[in-house]
C-alpha cells in the first residue's frame, strides 16, 4: 500500500494518495505495519519530515528494504543528499566513510 500511495502521488492523484496514506495510518492501529510503507507514502507526497520519521523507525526495526531504498532506488536519488538520509546511511554503516573504517 505504501508503494501504491507513492505511485498515486507521483501520478498527480494527490487526493487518492492522501486517502491511501490515511488508510495505512488507520490500519496501523490494528496490526503491525512496516514503517517503510508509511515512509513510502509520505515520501511520494513530498512529506519529508513524516517520511524520514517513518524511515527512522524502519531503521530501528532493521527493515531490509530500507537499505535498497536509501542506497540504490533511483526514485530516492533526489533525497540522498539530505542530511537525514546521510545520517541513516551512517547509522546503518552504509555510507562511504563507515565502509572505509570497517574495511
Could you give the C-alpha distances from 13 to 5, 9, 16, 31, 93, in angstroms and in order? 9, 5, 6, 27, 36
C-alpha–C-alpha distance, residues 4 and 92, integer Å: 26
pTM for this structure?
0.78
- Which position has the higher pLDDT, 35 or 81? 35
- Over residues 18-48, the pLDDT tens digits come to 999 999 999 887 778 889 999 999 999 999 9
Which residue is associated with the grid cell 523507525? Answer: 57
Residue-level pLDDT at 47: 94
Amino acid at each position: 500500500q505504501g508503494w501504491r500511495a507513492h505511485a498515486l502521488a507521483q501520478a498527480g492523484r494527490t487526493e487518492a494518495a492522501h486517502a491511501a496514506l490515511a488508510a495505512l495510518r488507520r490500519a496501523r492501529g490494528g496490526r503491525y505495519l512496516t514503517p517503510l510503507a508509511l515512509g513510502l507514502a509520505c515520501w511520494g507526497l513530498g512529506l519529508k519530515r513524516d517520511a524520514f520519521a517513518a524511515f527512522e523507525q524502519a531503521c530501528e526495526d532493521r527493515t531490509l528494504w530500507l537499505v535498497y531504498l536509501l542506497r540504490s532506488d533511483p526514485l530516492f536519488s533526489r533525497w540522498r543528499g539530505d542530511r537525514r538520509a546521510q545520517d541513516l546511511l551512517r547509522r546503518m554503516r552504509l555510507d562511504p566513510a563507515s565502509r572505509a573504517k570497517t574495511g
